[in-house]
Amino acid sequence: MGVFFSKAKRSRVSEHDKAVLQVKQQRDKLKQYQQKVEKQLETERQLAKKLLNEGKRDRAKLLLRKKKLGEQLLSKADAQLENLETIINDLEFAQAEKEVIKGLQLGNEALKQVNTLYSIEDVERIMDETRESIEKQREIDEMLQGVLTNEDEADVEVEFEKMMADSRVAEPEPKVPIAEPEEFVSLPEVPSEEPSSPEEASEEAEKTKPSPDKEKVKSKEKVAVLAE
């Protein structure tokens, strides 16, 4: 018996839970009732159709009236079902609201406890101490800035050495004029594409005198032109 008693104490199901469960059970019963009535209505509709086919119009009409009554019962059941669903939602939302209020209360109490740890005077003292510490830090920063002058001098020396290195790099610049002969060499090739008149060919020969190899090429071209 003790075991059962202790188990009962450990239950995590509240009276609120039991109330919600009871409403849900009523909802389930209503749903089952609806299913039963719907099935009966379908059966009677089929029977009415059959009676109509057999020419028994009066009995068919009687069944249809009964069916109409069943449909009204279904509508009432629907309305009650909606009421039950509303109650269930309200109950569950009330539970959620209760949890929220409890959370707010816990937060409020925690805030009060924190506030009791510090009085306004304590806060003022802490703020003053903080302000003094900030001023001290600022003075230290200013002193360190004075020392930075030595570092600036070191940076100046580094930059000076860089400038010296840059001036040395400038020496290779005279190499640029060496490229000019290459450009000069490429010039004669362009006119060779137009060997239509002999006068131009003779002019080209004069220009290429410094290059013996190219003179040979030009002489060959002359022969080709003459052949044409």
Partner 1 sequence: MSEVQWPWQYNFPPFFTLQPNEETKKKQLEAWRDLVLEYVKKTKTCIVDVQEADTTPLFSNAAISRKLSLEGIQAVLEMLHQKGNAEPIDKTKVRWYIYWHTLAEWADIFYQHAQENGLVNSVCTLYELVNTPDKEFTGLNEEIVIKILAQLQKDGKAELILSDDGSGSGVKFF
| Site residues, partner 1 (CB under 8 A) | 11-13, 17-18, 20-22, 24-25, 28-29, 32, 92, 95
CB of 20 to partner 1, least distance (A): 5
CB of 96 to partner 1, least distance (A): 10
Say which amino acid occupies 113: Q
Closer residue to partner 1 (CB): 12 or 112: 12
Contact 81, 37 (CB under 8 A): no
Report the residue number, 35 or 137, with the smaller CB distance to partner 1: 35
Least spacing, CB of residue 24 vs partner 1, in Å? 5
Residue 198 host element (H or E): helix 198-207
What minimum distance in Å lies between the beta carbon of 89 and partner 1? 12
Q: Residue 93 belongs to what H/E stretch?
A: helix 57-117
CA distance readout (Å), 20 to 29, 98, 100: 14, 15, 19
Phi, psi of 11, rounded to the nearest 5 degrees: -60, 135
Q: Looking at this protein, which amino acid is placed at residue 175?
A: K
- CB-wise, 21 or 126, nearer to partner 1? 21
- Comparing CB distances to partner 1, the nearer of 43 and 89 is 89
